[in-house]
Amino acid sequence: MTEERSTGAPDCAVCRELTIAESEAEGVGDHSRAVDCRVLRRRHARGHEGG
Ligand SMILES: [Zn+2]
């Protein structure tokens, strides 16, 4: 079992902020904003992989 959420570096402030923003958006039922955060985080996290 792998969690998509664990993508990214735990020490990275950007990853952390986007993860928090995503869960906050989900918490208030703002799914479009949550999706936005997820897309941004995925795109950003590519930089950690050196790709
Ligand atoms: Zn990051």
Q: Is the pLDDT of residue 47 over 50?
A: yes
Per domain, the residue ranges of the chain are: 10-49
28 CA from centroid of ligand 1 (Å): 24
Lowest mean pLDDT among 22-26, 29-33, 46-50: 46-50
pLDDT in tens, 9-21: 768 999 999 999 9
Question: Which value, to the nearest 10 degrees, does the dihedral of the CA atoms of residues 2, 24, 13, 5 take?
Answer: 10
Q: Which residue has the higher pLDDT, 9 or 23?
A: 23
Q: Where are the alpha helices (H) located in the chain, listed in sequence order?
A: 13-27, 31-45
Amino acid identity, position 48: H
Residues in the chain: 51
8 CA from centroid of ligand 1 (Å): 6
Amino acid identity, position 34: A
Q: Which residue has the higher pLDDT, 36 or 11?
A: 36
